[in-house]
Structure 1
Amino acid sequence: MHAKSDSEVTSLDASSPPRSPRRPLYYVQSPSQNDVEKMSYGSSPLGSPHHYHSSPIHHSRESSTTRFSASLKNPRNVTAWKKIHREIEEGEDEDDVDASSKGSGEVARFYVICFVFSFVVLFTMFSLILWGASKPYKPKISIKSMVFESFNIQAGMDNSGVPTDMMSLNSTVKIWFRNPATFFGVHVTSTPLELYYYQLKLATGYMEKFYQSRKSQRMITVIVKGSQVPMYGGVSNVNGGKQDQTSLAVPLNLTFLVRSRAYVLGKLVKPKFYRSIRCAVTLHGSLLGKPLPLLHSCVYQ
């Protein structure tokens, strides 16, 4: 054989196409059952007789597969896996239950607040309606008559020992009371009935408290009297009556206040009615024991 010249070698190289570099070959071989067992117990792939090359992705998949298969082969690992899985499911269930119970609790609290607020508003409106409906039913009061049974003046002394004329008086007042309300009764009280001669108080009477049912009426009798009231010489008309009692004429004023209270809805709705009464009456010595009509002599406020 003769050696090729440089020109021949150059021509051959130029005529032949360039060859691509040879790629390395990879062989993937699935590990056998023995290899899996060795790997699960910590044996290195390099120590196994079957050495293979693979990419990192294949290696991670094989390692996870190996661990899972090893856990399936080991009964203890299977039990632990089931326990962990059950705890995870129970935790998720508890979270769902807590979230649902929290949401339902907030909704229930919202409904309770709305119910209480609505109840208070409706009850207040109902109470106001009852209170407004009870106002027109004001009790009716009138003084029918007054009778002076006795009147006496005699010399005496007051509590401090000062000599003066002392007066005693006894009278009876008849009061007509009516409750026109159709759906409630009233409890009635009164201030003392006082009989004055200008600023001098001559007699006092007390009306007992009572209850008047709906759409009913009654006649009330109150005794107004005074005993040993010192006059201090200030009443000339009364002093003149010591000699001739039949010619006695003393102008007097009867004043008192009547309070009526209705319990429409227990103690929550209890309208009150006040009536101030002032009557002008004249004591005549010649009319002792006779009723004096006071229908047109009283002022009601």
Structure 2
Amino acid sequence: MHTNTDSDDVTSFNHSSSPTSSSPQKRTVYYVQSPSRDSSSHDGDKSSTMQATPYFHSPMDSPLHSASSASRLSGVYNSALTKKGSMKSNDKGWPECKVIEEEVEYGDFYHEREGLSKRTQIFCAAIGFILIFCVFCFTIWSVSRLYKPELSVKSFTLHNFYFGEGSDLTGVATKMLTVNCSIIMTVHNPATFFGIHVSSNPVNLMYSEVTVATGELNKYFQQRKSNRTVSVNLQGSKVPLYGAGASFAGLVDNQKIPMMLIFEVRSQGNIVGKLVKSKHSLHVSCSIAIDSHNNKPINLKHSLCTYD
């Protein structure tokens, strides 16, 4: 049998593709591979491998243009392969593409995405601290409400008393009263961990619905778990009695004048600076029978006063 060699194939191809051929024949495309870079694994293929160049079917295609385009495409392809993965040659010398290996590890990527930023962490920490601090302050405030100051009016002393005729600022004639007196009371602070600021609204001595003398407790600070005795002076000068003057005159002759002592004591404890405050108020009302001719202190029993 006749064996076709490479030279015979080339000669046959040249004759069949000559312009004098009467009938068109199907053209055969040949690829020749360039020598491998790995000299140790492909020593036997060095003489028979060349760079692969595509054969152009159309006579209008320029070999130079096609070669240039192929070169550019090859450069882009090789660049892409260099970035995304690596190539290796198989046993036959043909290029074999390796599975593309991403440089980024998705586990770390998603881990970073799932994590909180520093700003978010600081914000969450601040919110947590505020919530804990609010709970702490509320607890302290709730406990402080149990420590309500205790007050007791001990005595009443009449220093000066004058009743007579007179006229008010508009010139209307009426009965006039001048009173100078004082009260003594004790204040107890049962709180074990904070002191209190004690003050009061005006302390009024009233006959019927008329205020005949008034005074005010000077504001002071009282230590924790302590008792303190305080005094309040009440004064009333030329107070017009109007319609109550007639009945008041009859009581003066009998030397017993019923009056009411009415006031309110307020306390405030600053537990956590001015952020947490403990406030209490106590309304006091005492019944007093005044002797206009007696300047001795009148002891006020606890039953004669109401504290609420």
Q: TM-score range by the shorter chain?
A: 0.5 to 0.7
Provide closer, same or farther for how the CA distance between residues 116 and 27 of structure 1 changes in structure 2, counting only shifts above 3 A.
Answer: closer
SS in 2 for 1:24: helix
Which residue matches 2:232? Answer: 222
Aligned match for 2:10, one of 24, 28, 38? 24
2-structure distance, mates of 1:108, 1:126? 27
Structure 2 unaligned blocks of 5 or more: 12-29, 35-50, 57-65, 76-108
Provide closer, same or farther for how the CA distance between residues 186 and 28 of structure 1 changes in structure 2, counting only shifts above 3 A.
Answer: closer
Aligned match for 2:188, one of 162, 175, 178? 178
Alpha-carbon deviation of 1:294?
Answer: 3.9
Structure 1 unaligned blocks of 5 or more: 1-15, 31-51, 68-98
Task: Say what the alpha-carbon RMSD is for the aligned residues.
Answer: 3.6
2-structure distance, mates of 1:131, 1:222? 31
Aligned match for 1:289, one of 278, 281, 296? 296
2-structure distance, mates of 1:188, 1:126? 26
Which residue matches 2:152? Answer: 142
Q: How big is each residue's C-alpha offset from its partner over 1:226-259, in whole Å with a ceiling of 9 and x where there is no partner?
A: 11011225233431356x4xx3211111111111
Q: How big is each residue's C-alpha offset from its partner over 1:138-193, in whole Å with a ceiling of 9 and x where there is no partner?
A: 11111111111221112211111112221111111001011111110111110000
TM-score scaled to structure 2, two decimals?
0.64
Alpha-carbon deviation of 1:300?
Answer: 0.6
- Select the structure that is richer in helix: 1
Matched, 1:130 2:116: no
SS in 2 for 1:153: strand
Higher relative contact order (CA 8 A, sep 6+): 1
1-structure distance, mates of 2:236, 2:250? 19
Provide closer, same or farther for how the CA distance between residues 281 and 54 of structure 1 changes in structure 2, counting only shifts above 3 A.
Answer: closer
CA contact under 8 A between 1:145 and 1:295: conserved in structure 2? Answer: no
Q: Percent identity?
A: 33
CA contact under 8 A between 2:257 and 2:290: conserved in structure 1? Answer: yes
Which residue matches 1:253? Answer: 260
TM-score scaled to structure 1, two decimals?
0.65
Aligned ranges 1:89-108 → 2 under 5 Å:
106-108=116-118
Provide closer, same or farther for how the CA distance between residues 27 and 235 of structure 1 changes in structure 2, counting only shifts above 3 A.
Answer: closer
